């Protein structure tokens, strides 16, 4: 089987006829590279291989971008947060790739999107502004997006009327890029096919062929018809993401890497609701991660971190003694209450983690809050501060 060098601007049909032809080419065929997994990593690997003149096939057990590649942040960005870690090379490379996507590689799929960074204190403006000046500079002179802009409080609320006027002093607006991640992945798959790669979805790897301790191919199954075939390859690349361990197990060993699934999310709630939500979330994480010590540690780290932040912002100490003493008092109370339970959970399993959560709830509502109220009542009201920037 040889790799074709058709025009990438041609039309790569992905349909019943193409699927039948791909199955014929795979059945008993021999390849340079077989890529398993039709997410963006697998699609990109196949495109890289076929454009180097290697005979290449890409198979996916479900549908293209059926896993993580359709559940991403859908952003092409430079990684603003990495500036604090001084990883300037990574940010520069990511910004360059972002601009290429906007101008040359996929301008029909990638579009500019602006972000509004609210400033709650005046001292934040020079710090955030300096970071964004560097961010813009790393993008180079021929950047595809506008530079960041500083906004007054009025200008920020004109763009985002839901912002509370008394909760911010202004904002900074900057730009990155957004895409339809599933459609982008499908486009990369079709580009690979246009260059001559054999691509086929609903094609599951059910076994790996081995010779002399090396993987030399795979046994495939059509998940729609149940038909099976074998294909040989000089190199087999596992790009299955969170399913990496399942494919690796077909070799009879674990391999050098172990992949653990993770998932992130954002929620905006009030203080008490946020604690109850975090308590539920941490218990859920513990059960999902397999009742391990790591799970208990993660679960209680989430709970402690959220509690340390949420108890002070109740407004009680802020109203009476100001923000800095309020933060110190709240953090101290929390450390004293949560440390024993945290240590217990770190050395035990799920039961201890769940018990620690119950201790947190009882301690919060029956000890920490009354003590906080008592301390707050000892001081006259100095300043009125409302928690949260979104009404």
204 vs 250, higher pLDDT: 204
Q: Which residues contact 37 (CB under 8 A, 6 or more apart)?
A: 60, 238, 239, 240, 241, 243
Q: What is the DSSP string of 152-196?
A: EHHHHHHH-TTB-GGG-SEEEEEEEEEE-HHHHHHHHHHHHHHTT
- Residues 50, 194 within the same domain: yes
- Residues 285, 356 within the same domain: yes
Q: Is residue 387 part of a domain?
A: no
pLDDT of residue 337: 52
Give the domain extent around 306. Answer: 271-377
- Residues 243, 275 within the same domain: no
- Residues 292, 343 within the same domain: yes
- Tokens 């791909």 — which residue? 22
Domain count, the chain: 3
For the stretch 210-261, pLDDT in tens is: 998 899 999 999 999 999 999 999 999 999 988 888 888 888 776 676 776 6
- Residues 132, 220 within the same domain: no
282 vs 116, higher pLDDT: 116
- Residues 292, 158 within the same domain: no
- Residues 168, 290 within the same domain: no
Q: Is residue 386 part of a domain?
A: no
Q: How far, CA to CA in Å, does 381 sit from each of 164, 210, 263, 330, 376?
A: 22, 75, 42, 18, 9
What is the pTM for the complete model shown? 0.65
Judge whether residue 110 has pLDDT over 80.
yes
pLDDT of residue 291: 44
Q: Is residue 65 part of a domain?
A: yes
Instruction: Point out the domain boundary residue: 137, 161, 179.
Output: 179
User: Mean of the per-residue pLDDT values for the chain?
Assistant: 76
300 vs 138, higher pLDDT: 138
For the stretch 113-159, pLDDT in tens is: 999 999 988 888 988 999 999 999 999 888 899 999 999 999 999 99
97 vs 72, higher pLDDT: 97
């Amino acid at each position: 089987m040889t790799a074709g060098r058709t025009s990438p601007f041609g039309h790569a049909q992905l349909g019943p006829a193409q699927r039948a032809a791909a199955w014929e080419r795979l059945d008993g065929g021999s390849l340079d590279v077989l890529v398993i997994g039709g997410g963006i990593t697998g699609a990109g690997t196949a495109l890289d291989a076929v454009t180097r003149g290697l005979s290449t096939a890409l198979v996916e057990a479900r549908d293209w971008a059926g896993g993580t590649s359709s559940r991403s942040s859908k952003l092409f960005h430079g990684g603003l947060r990495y500036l604090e870690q001084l990883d300037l090379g990574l940010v520069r490379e990511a910004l360059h790739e972002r601009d290429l996507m906007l101008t040359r590689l996929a301008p029909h799929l990638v579009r500019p999107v602006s972000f509004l960074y609210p400033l709650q204190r005046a001292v934040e403006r020079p710090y955030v502004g300096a970071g964004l000046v560097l961010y813009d500079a790393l993008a180079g002179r021929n950047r595809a997006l506008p530079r960041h802009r500083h906004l007054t409080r009025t200008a920020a609320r004109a763009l985002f009327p839901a912002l509370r006027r008394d909760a911010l002093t202004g904002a900074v607006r900057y730009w990155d890029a957004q895409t339809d991640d599933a459609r982008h992945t499908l486009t990369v798959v079709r580009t690979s096919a246009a260059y001559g790669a054999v691509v086929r979805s609903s094609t599951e790897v059910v076994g790996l062929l081995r010779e002399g301790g090396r993987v030399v191919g795979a046994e495939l199954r059509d998940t729609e018809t149940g038909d099976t075939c074998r294909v040989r390859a000089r190199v087999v690349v596992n790009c299955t993401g969170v399913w990496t361990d399942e494919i690796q197990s077909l070799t009879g060993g674990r391999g050098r890497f172990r992949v653990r699934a993770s998932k992130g999310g954002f929620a905006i709630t009030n203080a008490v609701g946020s604690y109850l939500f975090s308590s539920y979330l941490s218990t859920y994480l513990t059960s999902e991660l397999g009742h391990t010590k790591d799970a208990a540690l993660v679960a209680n780290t989430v709970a402690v971190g959220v509690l340390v932040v949420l108890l002070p912002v109740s407004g009680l100490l802020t109203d009476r003694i100001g923000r800095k003493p309020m933060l110190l008092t709240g953090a101290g109370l929390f450390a004293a209450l949560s440390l024993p339970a945290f240590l217990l959970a770190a050395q035990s399993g799920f039961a201890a983690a769940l018990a620690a959560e119950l201790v947190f709830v009882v301690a919060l509502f029956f000890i920490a809050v009354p003590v906080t109220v008592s301390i707050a009542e000892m001081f006259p009201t100095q300043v009125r501060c409302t928690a949260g920037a979104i009404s």
